[in-house]
Amino acid sequence: MTPAEQAVLAANEAFYTAFAERDPQAMDHLWAKRASVACIHPGWNPLRGREPVMASWRAIFSGPGSPQISCSRATAYVSGESAFVICIEHVPGSLLVATNLFTREDGEWRMIHHHAGGLAEPLDDVEPPHGTVH
Amino acid sequence: MTPAEQAVLAANEAFYTAFAERDPQAMDHLWAKRASVACIHPGWNPLRGREPVMASWRAIFSGPGSPQISCSRATAYVSGESAFVICIEHVPGSLLVATNLFTREDGEWRMIHHHAGGLAEPLDDVEPPHGTVH
């Protein structure tokens, strides 16, 4: 694994840590400040632009349905200053699959898009992570 | 819209044309040759690498369940040599939401990732396109 891939996976882990800890400040920091951003929560219409995306996280974190979430099987694909990660999300009772996009801003890998949705196929050999986000 | 955004949306349209026409050669041409690629079909486990992705398209196109598909509401986000598109996919009886990633290779925008999944929310104001892919 290259240093860039490691850095992107660390950013991806930080995303799931902020999500699991319902931390709006950490989540805000993780997302790009200058690049345009978007987000597709499971089953939702796409959200386009930083304000709707951040408002969605605040609403999710403050609501009763904010899931306990962790991530496994993350793979990073890096091309220059852009990268994406695909991974499996574990929430109580189900598995989701996610694509997370990142760009480098100010020397940090910051998120520009999150797309999560249902996983209909069984994953026989996937064990949910225990107490970790990777 | 910038020329790059227009070019990325044209590549996205070419993807849905190849999909709707079940054209494996066109689909193969659309995907990056050198960059690593991945694909998440609705409900499937992630496919990682060009061969599994291309094999999936051949299987979809040759099977009885290959959907009639078209795309609307495509928005392109370009950053240097990388770009992503979010759009709504129309298949008979349902709507899906997709994230499509592209990179520039040999002067062309080529696909490196496709992630499509269910859209649970109603889209009251979305009319399916009639005979077009945009």
| Range from A37-46, A120-129, B91-100 carrying the lowest mean pLDDT | A120-129
Kindly give, in sequence order, each residue whose CB lies less than 8 Å from that of residue A118, ignoring residues fewer than 6 positions away: A42, A43, A94, A96, A97, B43, B117, B118
Higher local confidence (pLDDT), B43 or B25: B25
Task: Closest CB to B118: pick one of A79, A117, A121.
Answer: A117
pTM: 0.90
Give the angle subtended at the CA of B132 by the CAs of B129 and B134, to the nearest 5°.
Answer: 75
Average pLDDT for A110-127: 79
Question: Using 50, 70 and 90 to split pLDDT, how confident is the model at A67?
Answer: confident
Question: Using 50, 70 and 90 to split pLDDT, how confident is the model at A124?
Answer: low
Inter-chain residue contact A77 with B38, CB threshold 8 Å: yes
Chain-wide mean pLDDT for chain A? 90
Kindly give, in sequence order, each residue whose CB lies less than 8 Å from that of residue B11, ignoring residues fewer than 6 positions away: B30, B102, B108, B109, B110, B111
Question: Using 50, 70 and 90 to split pLDDT, how confident is the model at B131?
Answer: very low
3-class secondary-structure state, position A41? coil
Inter-chain residue contact A43 with B75, CB threshold 8 Å: no
Q: Taking 90 as the threshold, does the pLDDT of residue B112 lie above it?
A: yes
Inter-chain residue contact B40 with A113, CB threshold 8 Å: no
Instruction: Give this complex's ipTM.
Output: 0.88
For the beta carbon of residue B26, count every other beta carbon within 10 angstroms: 14
- For residues A22, A25, A29 and A32, what is the CA-based torsion angle, rounded to 10 degrees? 80
Average pLDDT for B20-48: 95
Report the b/e string of A87-126 with b at 16+ CB within 10 A: bbbbeeeebbbbbbbbbbbeeebbbbbbbbbebeeeeeee
Cα B40–chain centre separation: 11
Write out pLDDT tens, residues A19-64.
Answer: 999 999 999 999 999 999 999 999 899 999 999 999 999 999 998 8
Cα of first residue to Cα of last residue in chain B, in angstroms, is 15
Q: Taking 70 as the threshold, does the pLDDT of residue B33 lie above it?
A: yes
How many Cα atoms occupy the beta-carbon half-sphere of A51 within 13 Å? 0
The CATH code belonging to domain A3-118 is 3.10.450.50
